[in-house]
Amino acid sequence: MKRLLLASALLGLAGTIGTANAGPVTTLNTLTIWNALTPGATATSASQQALPATNPLFTGADLISTPPNTAAGGINFSLLSGTATVGAFLATDSPALTINPCGAACSATIISQGGFAQTTLMRLDFTVGSTSTFNVTHDDGVAVFTAGTTATASDLFAIADSGPTTSATTETITLASGSYDLWYVAANGLPEVLQTNLTAVATPEPASLTLLGSALVGLGWFTRRRRKA
């Protein structure tokens, strides 16, 4: 019975050292958007990749959001059908954008066209408060960089994730506390999906560590005593 109680205590304490606070990223700080016609492009063209160092849309001429691009809301968008504009895509955000840097221009701009004829490139800067598991579900390409970094080799995702997809795909990495740039390319028509999930890795309190250590010692003592009996 005592061993059972100790084992239950261990399981309970282990739960407090696991993960917590799962949900979409809500620390969106800036949202910058570029859009351009890309006739003749294919799935492998540089204009269709979420890689700013090589994507020709990453220029002032193609910028459609309003500098300084301050934003507030979630990173949780899903436009599956209907009006295929940048504004319609942003309107699907949950929690909703309370500061939206993209006005009339986005409402009138097609987010992407089939045949890779028109493409949107987005940079979403967000903050992670503590070491966390970061999931991104995307339809089309994504890349993640430490904020301010654009070199392709610094992409924290696999480079293959930066190109258009044929269906929604989920990537998972662990991020330390800090600021990051999530790049997304919307290409080849609807659907367009960019959904995140951030799960903070809980840090055990000192008291929890002490209790866990005591429980481990106690369990070991009872196991040893039983073997000697």
Q: pLDDT band for position 20 (50/70/90)? A: low
Once rounded to an integer, what is the mean pLDDT over residues 153-175? 97
- What is d(CA 184, CA 53) in angstroms, rounded to the nearest whole number? 13
Q: With pLDDT > 90 as the criterion, what percentage of the chain qualifies? A: 78
- What is d(CA 202, CA 145) in angstroms, rounded to the nearest whole number? 23
Q: In which residue are the tokens 């070491």 written?
A: 131
**6 pLDDT exceeds 90?**
no
φ, ψ for residue 5 (rounded to 5)? -65, -40
Q: pLDDT band for position 5 (50/70/90)? A: very low
DSSP 159: G
CB atoms inside a 10 Å sphere around CB 23: 13
Report pTM.
0.82
User: Which residues, 6 or more positions from 113, have their beta carbon under 8 angstroms from its beta carbon?
Assistant: 188, 189
The per-residue pLDDT for range 186-229, each reduced to its tens digit, is 999 999 999 999 999 976 655 444 444 454 445 454 444 444 45
- What is d(CA 28, CA 75) in angstroms, rounded to the nearest whole number? 7
Helix (H, G, I), strand (E, B) or coil at 161: helix
What pLDDT was estimated at residue 222? Answer: 44
When comparing pLDDT for 209 and 54, which is higher?
Answer: 54
- What is d(CA 121, CA 45) in angstroms, rounded to the nearest whole number? 13
Q: With pLDDT > 70 as the criterion, what percentage of the chain qualifies? A: 79
User: What value does the mean pLDDT of the chain take?
Assistant: 86
User: Which residues, 6 or more positions from 37, have their beta carbon under 8 angstroms from its beta carbon?
Assistant: 117, 118
- What is d(CA 180, CA 137) in angstroms, rounded to the nearest whole number? 17
**10 pLDDT exceeds 50?**
no
Q: Give the C-alpha distances (Å, rounded to integers) separating 63 from 4, 43, 197, 229.
A: 63, 22, 27, 77
**102 pLDDT exceeds 50?**
yes
- What is d(CA 143, CA 52) in angstroms, rounded to the nearest whole number? 9
Q: CA dihedral defined by 158, 164, 169, 172, rounded to 10 degrees?
A: 20
- What is d(CA 195, CA 139) in angstroms, rounded to the nearest whole number? 9
User: Which residues, 6 or more positions from 8, have their beta carbon under 8 angstroms from its beta carbon?
Assistant: none
